[in-house]
Structure 1
Amino acid sequence: MERGTGERSADLAVVGAGIVGLSHALHAVRAGLRVVVVERDERAVGASVRNFGHVCTTAQAGDVLELALVAREEWLRLGRDAGLPVLEHGTVVVARTPAQAQVLDEFAAERGDAVRPLTAGAAASLLGFAPPGILAAAHLPADLRIDPTTAAAAIAAHLEGLGVEFLWRTNVLDLEPGLVRTTRGDLRAGRTVLAVGHDVDRFFPEAADEHGLVRCRLRMLEVDSPSGAVPPAVLTGSSMLRYDGLAQQPSAAAVRAEIAADEPLLLEQGANLMLTQRPDGRLVIGDTHHYGVTEDPFEEEVSDQVVLDGVGRLLGAPLTVRRRWRGVYASSAKAPFLVTEPIPGVTVASVTTGIGMTTALGLARRVLDQALVTT
């Protein structure tokens, strides 16, 4: 249907077919709503495919942890309903200094059975390689992993089978109460969810400014695995500064001080040295973080090198790069989620901490529960 030639209607219009938009569509169609998803590209190509595929449940804290636990169960259900491979190997957090080991001890004491302390030998057995200098580790068995390069497409296909309509390669021109104007005609909707990640300011700049929304630009790489199979996701000492469950432990300050003294480039580049394994055996490694309202178009070689050097030391081997890419996601220092209603009947929903795969399926359930009550 070309622009201006007709009109569609839906109970819920979802703008954006990334994991946040797909999550809203999933919960809505389960509730018996007629759902139409509008996506500007021919498939999901943003943050939902440019990530580790790591459902990092256990390392979250507070309200984020609550949503992550809901999302974890939803991923397992999707695995059954959509035939989506969901791996349950968990995460291994590696400690290579006494301060890092202390953070893991504190975390285990706080979380009980959710965190399983490991000796260096037990960690090497679980990982499939022995990180040089490892002192201790912890296994987070509840964490999941999916393949981000195929998951969004599989979920979209599942939703189409449930009756969700997708308007691919369709731009939204304007949003009004009860109306989405697109390049393929008007879409009338009882409610609209705008799930466009870091592009909230393209539609509602005042809402983006109020919530301190900026773009986080990161670098990730895909390398051959020098050690064969690595079943769990792997986090390191730098990860202890990025995930609140770990960062809020008393000894995390000592870890930050160590990194500032010994590896200041990790902090300068906002590096979280971690890895996951693709189904084809390659490792996804990363990542660095740089923030701004507008993305800098230039990449500094140091961003990639700090990741390659750090993960190379972790694996104890030189790395062969097969692919590199830039990721971009919404970020805010004010809150982990941006959920607001800038005009009647239009809800903006964005994950502003880079953990969309971990939390979106939980966030969407909450957003729709609240929105449907007020509709």
Structure 2
Amino acid sequence: MLGPMRLGAFDLVVAGAGIVGLAHAAEGLRRGLRVAVVERDAFARGASVRNFGHGCVTGQAGEALGYAKVARERWLELGRLAGFYAEPTGTVVAARSAEELAVLREFAAAGVAPVEVLDADGVRARVPVRAKALVGGAFLPWDVRVNPREAVGAIARWLAAEGVTFFWRTAALEAAPGVLRTARGELAAPAIVLATGHDLDRLYPEIAERAEVRRCVLQMLRVAAPLAPGGLAVERFGPGVLTGLSLLRYAGFADCPSLPALRARFEAERPDLLAVDMNLMFTQLPDGDLLIGDTHERAVTHHPFHDERVDDLLLAETADLLGVPVAELAVRERWRGCYATAPDREFLVESPLAGVRVVAVTTGIGMTTCHGLAAQVVADLCA
């Protein structure tokens, strides 16, 4: 009987062509390594293209903040090299209550990151948000935006042009010291990174179970941007837009003294938003459409059904924030995002075998931190 086909020998092999996998491939290329990427699909179609394209650098803390700072520079560099939209637009946080504004003032006073506290007019001067309840907000200049619909594909094409070998429509089956076994044959390499995201349990169920990895499913929408006053052009947003619900989510705000009061206000006034774990935010695609969302539901395996009531909540909250009728938000696309999540951790990096790393971002900050995380993993693995 013939043995498995040998597909080639490399210095670094990466399983997964989502942004975490591609970030590791880019780091390998940066170090002058011979790199191969294995991807089960014909193109990336998971979490890396279903998100906001929002690099929320400022909202991170600890290890994640360090990774995010590195990733910010990598995104801007790769945007130039690979030819996709990547800009240091910053983010505006729109505050619609005194508690939200208090958290932002406390965060600014802590001095961990540059923050410009804004009054209501200052928010409106930066983004066309016309919520009646708007009381102020903040501008976060460190944050970046990319177009998630094009960035991952553009990076893959650029990596291929620079000499990285891609094996598309090729499932990774098993890693062993010095070899990755795939559906098409074996790849030899002293360093192997498995960046399969929420499908970690397909390769290493024991690691996924020990870390309590679940699949976090998000409901998101693409809507036509409302027209500017006069109706001759769409509203334009440079920065991404976050809200008070975002302050409950990102670790950078966790130590603000007013955060418990903010959470208590949502619990008393809007338990429906907390019930679907909403993080109300949006970014704008280059064509003007808005990516809005999102909500969160966690399970090992999800039912396939899309809840229209959740989309209705997202549309109503977005309309309120923008100060427009819901009917003006014409929905162009609806989808469910999915990423790995685990309690009490943001990153999962394990070494089940010599020369093998299992790598996953276990919160929704993969785009924000991927390049910094990859730099650390590759430096350790290929030292």
Normalising by the residue count of structure 1, what TM-score does the alignment of the two structures yield? 0.96
Pairwise mapping of residues 1-375 of structure 1 onto structure 2 (< 5 A)? Answer: 4-111=4-111, 114-226=114-226, 227=228, 228-317=235-324, 318=326, 319-373=329-383
1:114 is paired with a residue of what secondary structure? coil
Q: Shift in Å at residue 152 of structure 1?
A: 0.4
1:44 is paired with a residue of what secondary structure? coil
1:325 is paired with a residue of what secondary structure? strand
| Counterpart-to-counterpart distance in 2, 1:164 and 1:121 | 49
1:133 is paired with a residue of what secondary structure? coil
More off after superposition, 355-364 vs 81-90: 81-90
Q: Aligned residue pairs: how many? A: 371
Structure 2: gaps of 5 or more residues: 229-234
Q: Shift in Å at residue 191 of structure 1?
A: 1.2
Q: Shift in Å at residue 29 of structure 1?
A: 1.1
Counterpart residue type for residue 119 of structure 1:
D
Q: Contact 1:95–1:135 (CA<8 Å) still a contact in 2?
A: yes
Percent identity over the alignment is: 49
| Counterpart-to-counterpart distance in 1, 2:38 and 2:308 | 36
| Counterpart-to-counterpart distance in 1, 2:60 and 2:132 | 27
Q: Shift in Å at residue 248 of structure 1?
A: 2.7
Deviation string 1:114-149 (CA, Å, 9 cap, x unpaired) is: 101111111101003323211111000111000001
Q: Contact 2:350–2:358 (CA<8 Å) still a contact in 1?
A: yes
Deviation string 1:263-315 (CA, Å, 9 cap, x unpaired) is: 11111001000000011100000000000111222222222111111111101
| Counterpart-to-counterpart distance in 1, 2:4 and 2:382 | 29
Q: Contact 1:171–1:182 (CA<8 Å) still a contact in 2?
A: yes
Q: Contact 2:76–2:87 (CA<8 Å) still a contact in 1?
A: no
Paired position in structure 1 for 2:231: none
Counterpart residue type for residue 162 of structure 1:
E
Q: Contact 1:47–1:327 (CA<8 Å) still a contact in 2?
A: yes
Q: Contact 1:114–1:140 (CA<8 Å) still a contact in 2?
A: yes
Counterpart residue type for residue 280 of structure 2:
L
1:104 is paired with a residue of what secondary structure? helix
Deviation string 1:55-79 (CA, Å, 9 cap, x unpaired) is: 0100111111111011111111112
Q: Shift in Å at residue 84 of structure 1?
A: 2.5
Normalising by the residue count of structure 2, what TM-score does the alignment of the two structures yield? 0.94
| Counterpart-to-counterpart distance in 2, 1:60 and 1:36 | 31
Counterpart residue type for residue 352 of structure 2:
P
2:352 is paired with a residue of what secondary structure? strand
Structure 1: gaps of 5 or more residues: none
Q: Which runs of 4+ in 1 moved over 6 A?
A: none
Q: 1:7 to 1:86 in 2, by over 3 A?
A: closer
Deviation string 1:219-274 (CA, Å, 9 cap, x unpaired) is: 00001111411111000111110011123311111111111111111110010000
| Counterpart-to-counterpart distance in 1, 2:172 and 2:258 | 48
Q: Shift in Å at residue 113 of structure 1?
A: 6.2
* Root mean square deviation of aligned Cα: 1.3
Counterpart residue type for residue 189 of structure 1:
A
